[in-house]
């Protein structure tokens, strides 16, 4: 299965990071690939509860992601299903993916391990073998200058 893993060290205690991840006020401040605004953030933070976040990118396009909370263990772990939706319709075919976030207390605050799993059946093995910035990226850089 395909997965993307990102680790961040944050100078804030785990409970603050957890709330930033799960409250509408927090989500409104960070969610999205660029500095475009979050238009809507709804969270029903319990196992089986749903979340929905809509944001606008700087290019004007609007995107929405939604899913269900699968594990809620404040302040150490959060897991949720994930789907891109645009106007209520799936933007991308295929199954729901899964987001997992683990928060570990460290001396300076929190180590956050973020995983977006089940993206695609095969690509994960590549990412494990090569890393996301590995040999394939070199090929891509070559391709983009052609």
Partner 1 sequence: MVKLPESDLDRVFAALVDPTRRAILARLEREDSVSVTELARPFAIKLPAVMKHLDVLSDAGLIARSKTGRTVAVRLVPAPMEEAMNWLRRYERFWSASLDRLTAYAEAEERVAVARENDA
List interacting residues with partner 1 (CB under 8 A). 2, 4, 6, 8, 10-13, 16-17, 19-21, 26, 29-34, 92-94, 109-110, 112, 114, 116, 119-123, 125-127, 129, 132, 135-137, 139-140, 142-144, 146
* Nearest-approach distance from CB 48 to partner 1, in angstroms: 24
Nearer to partner 1, 48 or 87 (CB): 87
**Structure-token pair, residue 30:** 């960070």
Q: Is 67 exposed, middle or buried (0-12, 13-18, 19+ CB in 10 A)?
A: buried
Shorter beta-carbon distance to partner 1: residue 42 or 61: 61
Q: Which is nearer to partner 1, 35 or 88 (CB)?
A: 35
Query: Minimum distance from CB of 87 to partner 1 (Å)?
Result: 16
Residue 70 beta carbon to partner 1: minimum distance, rounded to whole angstroms: 18
> Closest separation between CB of residue 27 and partner 1, Å?
9
Copy the structure tokens of residue 57.
């990118």
Find out whether 144 and 37 touch, Cβ atoms under 8 Å: no
Considering the complex, state which of residue 46 and residue 140 has its C-beta at the smaller distance from partner 1: 140
In the numeric block, the tokens 């060290």 are attached to: 9
Q: Which residues pair with 62 in a beta bridge?
A: 56
* Listed residue (19, 17, 52, 54) closest to 37, CA to CA: 54
- For residue 24, give both structure tokens: 């509408």
């Amino acid at each position: 299965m395909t997965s993307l893993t990102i680790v961040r060290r944050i100078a804030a205690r785990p409970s603050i990071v957890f709330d930033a991840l799960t409250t509408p006020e927090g989500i409104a401040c960070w969610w999205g690939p660029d500095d475009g605004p979050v238009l809507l953030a709804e969270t029903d933070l319990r196992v089986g509860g749903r979340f929905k976040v809509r944001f606008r990118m700087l290019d004007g396009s609007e995107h929405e992601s939604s899913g269900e909370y699968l594990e809620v263990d404040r302040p150490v772990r959060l897991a949720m299903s994930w789907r891109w939706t645009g106007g209520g319709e799936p933007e991308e075919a295929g199954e729901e993916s899964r987001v997992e976030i683990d928060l570990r207390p460290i001396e300076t605050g929190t180590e956050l391990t973020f995983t977006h799993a089940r993206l695609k059946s095969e690509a994960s093995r590549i990412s494990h073998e090569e890393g996301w910035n590995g040999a394939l990226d070199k090929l891509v850089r070559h391709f983009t200058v052609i």
